């Protein structure tokens, strides 16, 4: 008989659903595997007003009322306490800080936390979570995440009650950094940072489909991330950072950063945890620790995966997914 595992339906604590036509694809693929997801606000225009947050949430729900969007807003320099309060009243659970210029649609990001002191104070008072894309602009690309530690530590020190998430950890030094901070600080880990290294991006021919921010790093970094994911430490939980771009936008001389992993992340994580003898740690990492940190209910429903091979499509609605055309050894049970 095929090996099976049943877990609480996962929660994706960081994903990009995009807008318009692409929402049909992203919500369909995310909801097949995830009960809920933390929806990133780096749309164009950004989700930074209550009206936009509400209409974006309604648009997502209209695609599938069974998938719960956990809504965020994008911080901007000088955002006032009353503007933060209005976002919370509209249903925001977190605010996302993008340092200026580090990733897709972050040109209008924040230059220094000193420009958002009032914003962060209000978030702390309202018990909103601060989620950060931790890369310090204009430094060597493989050290950008490490270079952000100083800014992260300064914010953590200035706001001792603020819950903070170090998003998509990619550098082994960040694992120790997050582990050393109080329990109100956690970190998300993606499927691609657990599976790939820089060899998959530039080791052979340059592959734009494995290019994302922060860039995947070396084998020792990937190993440290794996150990954190397998550790059972509730500070580390899954956030896919699934970030689709159309094939033509990836296969261009200015390839956009972002990897589309929603359709494949759960079976790939199951495969990794199984291969490493850590299957008993899978459910907490994928489905429990994330919602617990956010004080959100985990899914009540479960999914069952069976050890049965399938081939990942080359293209899904114009998007090349993670592990395209490769085999994955787990599938959802029909």
Q: Catalytic residue positions?
A: 241
Q: How far is the CB of 105 from ligand NCD (least distance, A)?
A: 6
Tell me whether residue 249 or residue 308 sits nearer to Zn ion (CB atom).
249
Partner in contact with 93, chosen from ligand NCD, Zn ion, none, beta carbon below 5 to 8 Å by kind? none
Please identify the residue of the shown chain whose CB is closest to the bound Zn ion. 241
Tell me whether residue 46 or residue 269 sits nearer to ligand NCD (CB atom).
46
Binding site for ligand NCD (CB under 6 A): 16, 42, 103-104, 133, 212-213, 241, 243, 257-258
Q: Are 96 and 72 in contact (CB under 8 A)?
A: yes
Q: How far apart are CA 112 and CA 184, in angstroms?
A: 22
2: buried, middle or exposed (CB in 10 Å: 19+, 13-18, 0-12)? exposed
Binding site for Zn ion (CB under 5 A): 241
Q: How far is the CB of 19 from ligand NCD (least distance, A)?
A: 12
Q: Give DSSP secondary structure letters for 209-275.
A: GG--SSPP--HHHHHHHHHHHHTT-TTEEE---B----HHHHSSTTPPP-BB-TTTHHHHHHHHHHH
Q: Are 301 and 36 in contact (CB under 8 A)?
A: no
Tell me whether residue 246 or residue 279 sits nearer to ligand NCD (CB atom).
246
Partner in contact with 213, chosen from ligand NCD, Zn ion, none, beta carbon below 5 to 8 Å by kind? ligand NCD
Q: How far apart are CA 48 and CA 95, in angstroms?
A: 9
Tell me whether residue 72 or residue 284 sits nearer to ligand NCD (CB atom).
72
Q: How far is the CB of 245 from ligand NCD (least distance, A)?
A: 6
How remote is the C-alpha of 161 from its chain's centroid? Answer: 23
Q: How far apart are CA 17 and CA 45, in angstroms?
A: 14
Partner in contact with 212, chosen from Zn ion, ligand NCD, none, beta carbon below 5 to 8 Å by kind? ligand NCD
Question: Which residues face 332 on adjacent strands?
Answer: 305
Partner in contact with 163, chosen from ligand NCD, Zn ion, none, beta carbon below 5 to 8 Å by kind? none
Tell me whether residue 35 or residue 216 sits nearer to ligand NCD (CB atom).
216
Q: How far is the CB of 146 from ligand NCD (least distance, A)?
A: 17
Q: How far is the CB of 268 from Zn ion (least distance, A)?
A: 18
Q: How far is the CB of 264 from ligand NCD (least distance, A)?
A: 16
Q: Are 159 and 121 in contact (CB under 8 A)?
A: yes
Partner in contact with 258, chosen from Zn ion, ligand NCD, none, beta carbon below 5 to 8 Å by kind? ligand NCD
Tell me whether residue 167 or residue 283 sits nearer to ligand NCD (CB atom).
167
Enumerate long-range contacts of 135-144, CB under 8 Å, 24 or more apart.
Answer: 135/99, 135/102, 135/103, 135/213, 135/214, 136/99, 136/102, 137/99, 137/100, 137/101, 137/102, 138/101, 141/215, 142/215, 142/217, 144/102, 144/214
Partner in contact with 104, chosen from Zn ion, ligand NCD, none, beta carbon below 5 to 8 Å by kind? ligand NCD
Q: Are 132 and 94 in contact (CB under 8 A)?
A: no
């Amino acid at each position: 008989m095929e090996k099976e595992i049943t877990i609480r339906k996962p929660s994706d604590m960081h994903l990009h659903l995009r807008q318009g036509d692409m929402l049909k694809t992203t919500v369909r693929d995310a909801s097949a595997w995830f009960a809920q997801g933390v929806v990133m606000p780096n749309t164009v225009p950004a989700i930074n007003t209550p009206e936009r947050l509400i209409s974006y949430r309604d648009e997502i729900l209209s695609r599938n009322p069974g998938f719960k969007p956990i809504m965020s807003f994008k911080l901007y320099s000088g955002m006032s306490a009353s503007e933060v309060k209005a976002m919370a009243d509209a249903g925001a659970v977190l605010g996302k800080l993008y340092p200026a210029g580090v990733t897709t649609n972050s040109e209008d990001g924040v230059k220094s936390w000193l420009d958002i002191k009032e914003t962060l104070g209000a978030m702390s008072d309202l018990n909103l979570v601060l989620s950060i894309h931790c890369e310090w602009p204009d430094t060597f690309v493989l050290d950008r995440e490490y270079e952000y530690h100083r800014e992260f530590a300064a914010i953590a020190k200035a706001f001792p009650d603020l819950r903070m998430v170090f998003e998509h950890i990619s550098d082994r030094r960040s694992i120790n950094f997050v582990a050393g901070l109080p329990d109100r600080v956690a970190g998300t880990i993606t499927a691609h940072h657990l599976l790939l290294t820089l060899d998959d991006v530039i080791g052979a021919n340059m592959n734009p489909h494995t290019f994302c921010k922060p860039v995947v790093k070396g084998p020792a970094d990937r190993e440290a991330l794996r150990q954190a994911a397998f550790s059972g430490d509730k500070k580390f939980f899954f956030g896919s950072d699934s970030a689709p771009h159309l094939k033509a936008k990836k296969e261009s001389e200015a390839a956009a950063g972002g990897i589309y992993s929603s359709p494949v992340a759960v079976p790939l994580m199951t495969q990794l945890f199984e291969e490493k003898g850590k299957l008993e740690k899978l459910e907490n990492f994928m489905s429990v620790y994330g919602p617990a940190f956010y004080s959100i209910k985990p899914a009540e429903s479960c999914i069952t995966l069976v050890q049965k091979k399938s081939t990942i499509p080359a293209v899904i609605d114009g998007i090349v997914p993670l592990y395209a055309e490769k085999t994955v050894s787990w599938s959802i049970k029909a």
